[in-house]
Amino acid sequence: MLNGGDSYLRDVLTDAGMRSAEQATPVDSVLAASRARVAALVGARVAATSLSHEQLSALRDEWYAMSSSLRALLGADVDKYLAPPHASPHGAQHRAGVRNTP
């Protein structure tokens, strides 16, 4: 989100026809809020070069929160644009927005 991921996701959703003129403001608000929360999490890191397990977990939680907000705005079809490349778009956990816990 901090290195252009928010812009990339906005452009992907626009190109997919999901970020229409009527949905642009609410989608942009979700992305901006998520970017701000990620910036705060990353800015609070203790080590200069890495994040703790708790901080990584908080970043993962933020991704799920942002995904849930976008799903509420745009519907379940948005999931295919939010799935990480290694995730199965047919997996029940991905569709339900359930995170894997160790």
At 68, is the pLDDT very low, low, confident or very high (cuts 50, 70, 90)? very high
Long-range contacts of 70-78 (CB under 8 A, 24+ apart): 70/13, 70/27, 70/30, 71/97, 73/23, 73/26, 73/27, 73/30, 74/13, 74/18, 74/19, 74/23, 74/27, 77/18, 78/13, 78/18
Q: So what's the pLDDT on residue 32?
A: 95
pTM of the complete model: 0.75
Residue 58 has pLDDT above 80, yes or no: yes
**Residue 102 confidence (pLDDT):** 43
Bigger pLDDT: 67 vs 94:
67
